[in-house]
């Protein structure tokens, strides 16, 4: 099974940088990856400095989309056996999540995995070069929306039995519903996997800066949602998912804004 670090390769360097970068360094990562760093799990073994990391605010999580052509005869994950599938962009979280999910579902070695960049995946599906691909990001995904507008697609949905098997990938992962109608032609609810993500700094950031950065985010969240709908999914309740103590400056903002903060994050 792939590790959390492998699943979050694009953000792995962010966490490593946090241990040594001075001043007002802000980075994003899934909380589970940060927990691995603090616990000294590979690839963080023998490293230190991660106890200085402090949470600022949540951002849209990683939601997995497994996209297939509607005419490919693929109704569920088992139907992927013998099919050509791009698990995600080379070295991306999507690739790692797909590979680990296929392992958990007993499909390892049965799906013909194509190693390529994610940018080429929609065209490859549209041109019938592959049967499907995986992509991890916020939803609704602009890429999937654009594809669905011109090419009939299906999204693979995890069954109630499959979801807990796939959640082993990351204990912080949760099942999430992509509502029917989110993408053209997908007229059913889709159960998939979502991993929370948040923005962090370190104790080397001064309180006034942490306060200003956190306040600026929440003040602009509504405007961000107007530009990209997935920002509307970031709610006050998600503060509890960040898995790390809040920076004192960020905590000052949450106290001022009367946003509930769990005791473990204070």
Asked if residue 205 and residue 190 are part of one domain, the reply reads: no
Asked if residue 108 and residue 138 are part of one domain, the reply reads: yes
How many CA atoms within 13 Å lie on the side-chain side of 139?
24
Query: Which of 195, 229, 244 is the last residue before a domain boundary?
Result: 195
Helix axis angle for 93-104 and 9-18, nearest 10°, is 120
Backbone CA torsion sign across 126, 131, 136, 140: positive
pTM over 0.75: no
Give CA–CA dist 130/113, Å, rounded: 10
Domain count, the chain: 2
Asked if residue 120 and residue 10 are part of one domain, the reply reads: no
Range of the domain at 139: 62-195
**Residues facing residue 66 across a β-bridge:** 134
CB 245 within 8 A of CB 266: yes
Scan for tokens 């939803």, then name that residue. 139
Query: Which of 173, 195, 217 is the last residue before a domain boundary?
Result: 195
How many CA atoms within 13 Å lie on the side-chain side of 1?
12
Whether a cis peptide bond, with omega within 30° of 0, leads into 209 is: no
- Nearest C-alpha neighbor of 93 from the set 148, 15, 30: 30
Asked if residue 118 and residue 190 are part of one domain, the reply reads: yes
Asked if residue 261 and residue 176 are part of one domain, the reply reads: no
Asked if residue 51 and residue 25 are part of one domain, the reply reads: yes
Q: Are strands 84-86 and 112-113 parallel, antiparallel or unpaired?
A: parallel
Query: Which of 145, 178, 195 is the last residue before a domain boundary?
Result: 195
Asked if residue 180 and residue 66 are part of one domain, the reply reads: yes
CB-based contacts of 263, cutoff 8 Å, min separation 6:
none
Residue by residue, pLDDT tens for the chain (266 residues) are 444 443 444 467 778 888 888 888 999 888 888 888 899 987 788 898 999 999 999 998 889 999 999 999 999 999 999 999 999 887 676 887 898 899 999 999 999 999 988 899 999 999 999 999 999 888 888 999 999 999 999 999 999 999 999 988 777 778 888 989 999 999 999 999 988 889 999 999 999 999 999 999 999 999 998 888 778 888 898 899 899 999 999 999 999 999 999 999 99
Asked if residue 9 and residue 131 are part of one domain, the reply reads: no
Scan for tokens 């923005």, then name that residue. 199
CATH of the domain at 10: 3.40.190.10
């Amino acid at each position: 099974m792939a590790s959390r670090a492998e699943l979050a390769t694009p953000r792995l360097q962010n966490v490593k940088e946090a241990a040594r970068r001075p001043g007002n360094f802000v980075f994003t990562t899934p909380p589970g990856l940060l927990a691995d760093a603090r616990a000294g799990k590979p690839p963080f073994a023998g490293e230190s400095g991660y106890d200085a990391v402090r949470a600022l605010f949540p951002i849209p999580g990683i939601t997995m989309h497994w996209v297939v052509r509607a005419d490919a005869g693929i109704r569920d994950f088992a139907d992927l056996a013998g099919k050509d599938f791009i698990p995600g962009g080379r070295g991306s979280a999507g690739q790692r999540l797909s590979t680990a999910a296929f392992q958990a579902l007993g499909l390892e070695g049965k799906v013909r995995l194509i190693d390529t960049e994610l940018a080429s995946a929609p065209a490859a599906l549209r041109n019938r070069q592959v049967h499907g691909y995986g992509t991890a990001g916020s939803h609704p995904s602009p890429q999937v929306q654009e594809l669905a507008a011109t090419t009939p697609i299906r999204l693979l949905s995890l069954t109630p039995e499959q979801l807990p098997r796939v959640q082993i990938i990351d204990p912080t992962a949760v099942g999430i519903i992509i509502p029917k109608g989110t993408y053209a032609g997908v007229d059913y609810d889709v159960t998939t996997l979502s991993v929370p993500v948040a923005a962090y700094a370190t104790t080397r950031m001064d309180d006034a800066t942490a306060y200003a950065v956190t306040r600026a985010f929440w003040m602009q969240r509504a405007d961000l949602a107007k530009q990209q709908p997935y920002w509307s999914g970031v709610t006050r309740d998600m503060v509890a998912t960040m898995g790390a103590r809040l920076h004192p400056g960020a905590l000052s903002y949450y106290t001022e804004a009367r946003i509930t903060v769990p005791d473990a994050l204070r």
